[in-house]
Structure 1
Amino acid sequence: NMSFTVEERGNLNSLNYRIFFKNAEGKYVSPFHDIPMYADESQNIFNMVVEVPRWTNAKMEIATKDPLNPVKQDMKKGKLRFVANVFPHKGYIWNYGAIPQTWEDPSHKDGDTGYCGDNDPIDVCEIGSKVHSRGDVIKVKVLGVLAMIDEGETDWKVIAINVEDPEANDLNNIGDVRRLKPGYLESTVDWFRRYKVPDGKPENQFAFNGEFKDKDFAIKVIKNTHNFWKDLISQKADLKIQLFF
């Protein structure tokens, strides 16, 4: 059984705050590279690293360029980054995080959206009822995906639910979310459209007129980003060989 623990360092809301990950043996691991993408490949159950608990505002993310890739707070212009409360929302409206071993390649122009990737692991909005903690690694069932265009980059937002959520059995595709959680998908588009406006940015745009794509489409997108991650790893391995030999 893959179990992970976290080690928090520094103080929350400070520049030195970090969340490091350890495996069951207590060895430090990277949440970007060492946690498997699949929790159960046969059932299309994925691992998700929770970066931002629901209702909170600090924009935490896996530090892809730091050793061991801890979770830390994003910086903009030398300041810690918080997302504003965009009425009527309070902070992030889902548990927000990423799927390990995925990467949105900034040199690859997406055939569906016409834009290149955002250079990060693929993002996940987990819509279950439990508020998770920063650094939780949870197993999720994928339900669909939204294609946000953020300042000219493709930034997929996977919609998923924790497999242990009481509603997980009833939610199997994006239509079930629309039916059983009315308004949630519309709120999600509204949130992503407007969350940067308080920072003086324009509204974000979406491919497919802001329509959510279904589960099969979402899984295909995730698998593509997994392949880009594999390419990234092999490039890094090649670079290391060049650097050290």
Structure 2
Amino acid sequence: MKNHNPWHSVDPQADNCEVNALIEISNGSRAKYELDKDTGLLKLDRVLFSAVYYPANYGFIPRTYAKDDDPLDVLVLSQIAIQPLCIVRVKIIGMMEMIDQGKPDDKLIAVACYDKSVSHIEEIKELPPIFDSELKQFFQEYKRLEQKTVRVEHFTGRDQARETLQDALMRYKELYP
């Protein structure tokens, strides 16, 4: 089954700050989908309990293994809601460091390379200041009614994000040689 699972079969083609991402959740959705690691299909994890929606397209970088024992998460900025399971070439511009239920759960922040409305952005600091606040509020609130704790630590630039990406690519290679 490994060959048909997009987590394992899609080449990340990591090149400096550009990498392939796989979308799980479209911008504006209240559905929390996640990749089923065994089948490679998307499964509905839950409908968000709060009256909130995903502020960006949400997915993961293939062939990565993050510190939360899942593929490395990525938020992809674009002027459109991107279809789930779509492969998107992205440029990493920063990262949100987060703790979810006591475990690190960092989120890369990226822009869609083929969307001219955002592809010119190089660093997270180029985004409006409200962007950080909106992301932080969403991730701290979206599990509150489930009695779960999420804490956003801070936002970092693309250099730290690139280090986290390289670490997750290396961890994957060690686990899945």
Q: So what's the TM-score if we normalise by structure 1?
A: 0.67
Shift of 1:144: 0.4
In structure 1, what is the equivalent of residue 61 of structure 2? Answer: 99
Amino acid at match of 1:100: P
Shift of 1:183: 0.8
Select the residue among 23, 29, 47 that pairs with 1:50: 23
Contact 1:170–1:176 (CA under 8 A) maintained in structure 2: no
Which runs of structure 1 show a deviation greater than 2 angstroms over 4 or more consecutive aligned residues? 167-170
| Coordinate RMSD, CA, aligned | 1.6
Contact 1:50–1:134 (CA under 8 A) maintained in structure 2: yes
Q: How does 1:1-245 map to 2 (within 5 A)?
A: 29-38=4-13, 41=15, 43-64=16-37, 66-67=38-39, 69-74=40-45, 81-86=46-51, 90-104=52-66, 117-177=67-127, 181-202=128-149, 204-206=150-152, 210-234=153-177
SS of equivalent residue, structure 2 residue 166: helix
Contact 2:78–2:117 (CA under 8 A) maintained in structure 1: yes
Contact 1:148–1:154 (CA under 8 A) maintained in structure 2: yes
Contact 1:45–1:141 (CA under 8 A) maintained in structure 2: yes
Shift of 1:193: 1.1
Contact 2:50–2:141 (CA under 8 A) maintained in structure 1: no
In structure 2, what is the equivalent of residue 239 of structure 1? Answer: none
Contact 2:17–2:158 (CA under 8 A) maintained in structure 1: no
| Identity among equivalent pairs (%) | 26
For 1:153-198, what per-residue CA distance to the aligned partner results, in whole angstroms no more than 9, with x for missing partners? 1101111010011233431011112xxx341121001111111012
Aligned residues: 175
Q: So what's the TM-score if we normalise by structure 2?
A: 0.92
**Structure 1 Cα separation of the partners of residues 69 and 35 of structure 2:** 12
Amino acid at match of 2:12: M
Task: Indicate the structure whose relative CO is greater, using CA pairs within 8 Å and at least 6 residues apart.
Answer: 2
**Structure 2 Cα separation of the partners of residues 102 and 73 of structure 1:** 22
Q: Any stretches of 5+ residues in structure 1 without a counterpart? A: 1-27, 75-80, 105-116, 235-245
**Structure 1 Cα separation of the partners of residues 109 and 53 of structure 2:** 17
